[in-house]
Amino acid sequence: LTFTHLLTIPEDMSYYVSFPDWIDQLKRDCAPKAHSWAITLRWYLGWCKRSRQPATIPSARAFMDEVLEAKQPSAGIANEWKTAINWFFRHGQRKCLRSSKAPSFRHEQSESRSLPPELDKQWNRPRANEPSPKWQHEVIRLIRVRQYQWQTEKTYVHWLKRLATFHQRTDLENLDNAQIATFLDDLAVRLAG
């Protein structure tokens, strides 16, 4: 399996990898090479974080292009880097990044897998009987793609919910600057008083 033929991805859809326990899995799967592969994967994941990109096949290719040009390693070292990143993508859990053309898989997954109410609330996921507005799903998706902290996600969603409640609307996409300014002015007056 070569790096360029790692995963077949439809043109209108890409996947990111969610693999929080990759280091433990790496130690179990590849003990002799775990240390050098961990260095490569930390390098790649750090690059993703600095460039605010999720761990996707295109971002891995961009990373490899960039480091191969900058470092000009020997063929053996370059192959070792590619093999480590291939391992990461083969063993990580793929999750769908929605695009405008791509079908929505998140909705289907949320119906088939029900989480306990305390976990739904913990992860800002709406419960099945509580429909949430489109903007909330989009904000959460963008925050997670950019790999912000969970507390940041909670805070952003909280303030956007307050904005929606203030204007008694569910479609925040159509708010203009004057309406947002009205909300902020009201908030400033209440906090000052």
Q: Which phi and psi angles does 47 have, rounded to 5°?
A: -60, -45
User: DSSP H helical segments within 31-127, as ranges?
Assistant: 34-50, 57-71, 75-91, 106-112, 117-122
The Cα 133–Cα 5 span in angstroms is 38
The Cα 50–Cα 138 span in angstroms is 22
The Cα 82–Cα 60 span in angstroms is 9
**Element housing 170 (H / E):** none
**Element housing 183 (H / E):** helix 177-192
Q: What is the pLDDT of residue 129?
A: 52
Band (133; pLDDT cuts 50, 70, 90): confident
| CA within 13 Å, CB half, 192 | 6
Q: Which SS3 state, helix, strand or coil, does residue 81 take? A: helix
SS3 content of the chain, % helix, strand, coil (to 5): 65, 5, 30
Who wins on pLDDT, 107 or 124? 124
Under 8 Å between Cβ of 14 and 102: no
pTM of the model: 0.46
pLDDT, tens only, 19-55: 888 888 888 888 888 899 999 999 999 888 888 888 8
Question: Hunting for tokens 């592969």 — which residue is that?
Answer: 37
- Mean pLDDT of all residues in 137-162: 87
